[in-house]
């Protein structure tokens, strides 16, 4: 059994895993790129080793080097976090071959769930419904796909077999436009994943994206920790998650039947450790398997807040070969939790990523608030990695309390130096549709805009005008002071150029 863990990741998730290890009394080993020398995970870990230059493929994706560092430092287990090497079956296998515990599922389960077509046919055989489509039919040519399309019905989606993140995905509304869309989807999939295979899937309208967290140990115990509502997305990137789902809410029957199906899907691939089964749920509460994420999810904290289960600690426990501390009967959902992903993106400039040094940061605190972050004032947000700065998570006894608490936390949260999407979340918290739980996966793109959200809100132009005027006035005064005449013995121009040199 290992007592030292290497964390093969960076940012907030590396910090999160280090915290769990610390609390378990385990030693931690961080790895970092040249861009992350001052990152929190490097500062918090017991040991830290340089991987290489900033680009991921020269640092955090160097599986062999990471395994080497683990062996040299005497770490017995590797936690991959999410992203980077987390869902690479070959890396998980290489860990095992080197005699290291991989804190995640077996390589075979990662492989089975990684290929979407294989995953769909596997769970379908286990009796889990999948969205109607051409899954499990192998690689089909364009002609076969075109002839199968009318059977599935329009609108439908073309999806990349090896896909993810919306790449190689196309929405098709009629047979006429399908050939050209097939062509472009294949081209994009080929470029992104080196695999041009695609399959068709029925497009469910008004569908929600709801996922079930599962935990499984090596002793054959599999449990689920309820659902997470992840429908609030923009370009297939999740922005906010909550649990329970307002759509499932107190429908315990729906929750338990989805949970039981998720458990069955996990068992179908002999799953061990933490994983997530994603479902699409239509407006009539029919649900279909979408895919399985064979890793710790970004949004795992909301589940931790309502169930009280520390998922990361449980992952480590499972990887050490122990039994889980919980059975299904121990799991209850208490209250409501919401997570806002705080990204370095400017919501007023088409969510363009913003980079730079964080010069000032004031974290929200107080009852029911949790912030998972890897940054601090003075830290540089570099263009090499994703734009996630932190996750702001709140808990409330009811959904209403959680929303109100999130509102006040967002108002308290100050980050200066980069633009963030905090104003987006503030507008979302004020949106009546969000408050009513009336949203689907298209909500952010189709029905929400920063301007529309601002209609009907208390207009504070007057206050803003006063603030702007006072700032401008201060600046004028300061500028006037600099070039004030007659107070210096040298010429104004000389003085000005000296002053400029001083402040360069």
Partner 1 sequence: MNYVTTIGGREYVVEIVDERHIMVNGTLCEVDFDNVSDQPVFSLLLNGQSYESYVYSGDEGWEVLLHGSLYLAKVEDEREKRLRASTGSRVADREEFHLRAPMPGLVVTVPVVEGEKVEKGDVLLILESMKMQNELRSPRSGKVSRMRVKPGDSVEQRQTLLSVI
Tell me if 323 sits within 8 A of 281, measured CB to CB. Answer: no
Q: Pick the closer one to partner 1 by CB: 19 or 234.
A: 234
Its sign, for the CA torsion 246, 252, 258, 262, is positive
Among 330, 334, 464, 494, binds partner 1 (CB under 8 A): 464
Q: Is 61 helix (H, G, I), strand (E, B) or coil?
A: coil
Among 68, 463, 494, 499, binds partner 1 (CB under 8 A): 463
Helix (H) or strand (E) holding 6: strand 4-7
Among 356, 469, 498, 500, binds partner 1 (CB under 8 A): 469
Piece in contact with partner 1 (CB under 8 A), picked from 7-15, 36-44, 65-73, 479-487:
479-487
Q: How far is the CB of 493 from partner 1 (least distance, A)?
A: 9
Among 352, 445, 466, 498, binds partner 1 (CB under 8 A): 466
* H-assigned helices in 244-292: 252-268
Q: Pick the closer one to partner 1 by CB: 400 or 464.
A: 464
- Tokens at 489, concatenated: 């013995």
Residue 472 binds partner 1, judged by CB under 8 A: yes
Spatial CA neighbour of 14 closest among 312, 368, 228, 213: 312
Q: Which of residues 482-501 bind partner 1 (CB under 8 A)?
A: 483-485, 492
Residue 474 binds partner 1, judged by CB under 8 A: yes
d(CA 472, CA 478) in angstroms, rounded, equals 10
Spatial CA neighbour of 353 closest among 389, 310, 325: 389
DSSP code, position 448: -
Q: Which of residues 380-439 bind partner 1 (CB under 8 A)?
A: 410-411, 414, 416, 422-423, 426-427, 430
Buried b (16+ CB within 10 A) or exposed e, 284-306: eeebbbbbbbbbbbbbbbbbbbb
Give the sheet arrangement for strand 388-396, strand by strand: 287-293, 273-281, 208-216, 222-234, 237-243, 336-343, 388-396, 369-373
Residues 6+ apart with CB under 8 A from 498: none
Q: Pick the closer one to partner 1 by CB: 234 or 264.
A: 234
Q: Write the DSSP assignment of 213-253 as a string of letters.
A: EEEE-TTS-EEEEEEEEEEEEETTEEEEEEES-TTTTT-HH
| Contact letters for partner 1, residues 353-382 (x by CB under 8 A) | ------xx----------------------
Residue 478 appears among annotated catalytic residues: no
d(CA 211, CA 295) in angstroms, rounded, equals 13
Q: How far is the CB of 457 from partner 1 (least distance, A)?
A: 7
d(CA 88, CA 38) in angstroms, rounded, equals 28
Q: How far is the CB of 89 from partner 1 (least distance, A)?
A: 43
Among 433, 473, 488, 494, binds partner 1 (CB under 8 A): 473
Piece in contact with partner 1 (CB under 8 A), picked from 11-19, 62-70, 121-129, 467-475:
467-475
Q: How far is the CB of 417 from partner 1 (least distance, A)?
A: 8
Q: How far is the CB of 487 from partner 1 (least distance, A)?
A: 11
Catalytic residue among 16, 186, 255, 295: 295
What is the separation, in whole angstroms, between the first and last Cα of the chain?
57
Q: Pick the closer one to partner 1 by CB: 485 or 503.
A: 485
Piece in contact with partner 1 (CB under 8 A), picked from 177-185, 210-218, 327-335, 470-478:
470-478
- Tokens at 415, concatenated: 């980050």
* H-assigned helices in 88-235: 89-97, 107-114, 116-125, 142-152, 178-193
Stated length of the chain: 504
| Contact letters for partner 1, residues 306-345 (x by CB under 8 A) | ----------------------------------------
Among 476, 488, 494, 498, binds partner 1 (CB under 8 A): 476
Q: How far is the CB of 465 from partner 1 (least distance, A)?
A: 4
d(CA 4, CA 42) in angstroms, rounded, equals 15
Positions touching partner 1 (CB under 8 A) are 348, 359-360, 410-411, 414, 416, 422-423, 426-427, 430, 450, 454, 457, 460-474, 476, 479-481, 483-485, 492
User: Would you name the residues annotated as active-site residues?
Assistant: 295
């Amino acid at each position: 059994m290992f007592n030292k863990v290497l964390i093969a990741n960076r940012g907030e998730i590396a910090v999160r895993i280090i915290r769990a290890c610390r609390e378990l009394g385990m030693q931690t080993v961080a790895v970092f790129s040249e861009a992350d020398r001052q990152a929190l995970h490097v500062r918090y870990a017991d040991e830290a080793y340089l991987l290489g230059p900033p680009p991921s493929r020269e640092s955090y994706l160097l599986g062999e080097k990471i395994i080497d560092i683990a062996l040299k430092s005497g770490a017995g287990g590797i936690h991959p976090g999410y992203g980077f090497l987390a869902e690479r079956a070959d890396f998980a296998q290489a860990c095992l071959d080197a005699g290291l515990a991989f804190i995640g599922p077996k390589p075979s389960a990662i492989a089975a769930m990684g290929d979407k077509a294989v995953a769909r046919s596997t769970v379908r055989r286990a009796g889990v419904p999948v969205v109607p489509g051409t899954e499990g039919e192998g690689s089909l040519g364009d002609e076969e796909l075109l002839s199968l399309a009318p059977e599935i019905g329009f609108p439908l989606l073309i999806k990349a077999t090896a896909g993810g993140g919306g790449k190689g995905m196309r929405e098709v509304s009629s047979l006429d436009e399908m050939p050209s869309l097939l062509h472009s989807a294949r081209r994009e999939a080929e470029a992104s994943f080196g695999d041009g295979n695609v399959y068709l899937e029925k497009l469910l309208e008004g569908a929600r994206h709801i996922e079930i967290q599962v935990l499984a140990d090596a002793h054959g115990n599999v449990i689920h920790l309820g659902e997470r509502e992840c429908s609030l997305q923009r370009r297939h990137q999740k922005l906010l998650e909550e649990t329970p789902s307002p759509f499932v809410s107190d429908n315990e029957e729906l929750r338990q039947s989805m949970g039981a199906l998720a458990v069955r899907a996990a068992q179908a691939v002999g799953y061990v450790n933490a994983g997530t089964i994603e479902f699409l749920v239509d407006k009539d509460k029919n649900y279909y398997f979408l895919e399985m994420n064979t890793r710790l999810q970004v949004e795992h904290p909301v589940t931790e807040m309502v169930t009280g289960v520390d998922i990361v600690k449980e992952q480590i426990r499972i990887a050490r070969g122990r039994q889980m501390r919980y059975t299904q009967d121990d799991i209850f959902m208490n209250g409501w939790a919401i997570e806002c992903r705080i990204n370095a993106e400017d919501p007023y400039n088409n969510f363009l990523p913003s980079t730079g040094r964080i010069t000032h940061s004031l974290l929200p605190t107080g009852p029911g608030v949790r912030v998972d972050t890897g940054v601090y004032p003075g830290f540089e947000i570099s263009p090499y990695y994703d734009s996630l700065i932190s996750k702001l998570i709140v808990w409330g006894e009811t959904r209403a309390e959680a929303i109100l608490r999130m509102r006040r936390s967002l108002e308290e949260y100050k980050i200066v130096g980069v633009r963030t999407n905090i104003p987006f979340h503030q507008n979302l918290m004020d949106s009546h549709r969000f408050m009513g739980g009336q949203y689907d996966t298209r909500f952010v793109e189709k029905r929400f805009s920063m301007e529309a959200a601002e209609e009907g809100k208390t207009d504070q132009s007057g206050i803003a005008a006063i603030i702007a005027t006072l700032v401008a006035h201060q600046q004028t005064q300061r500028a006037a002071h600099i070039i004030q005449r007659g107070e210096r013995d040298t010429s104004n121009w000389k003085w000005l150029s000296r002053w400029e040199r001083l402040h360069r």
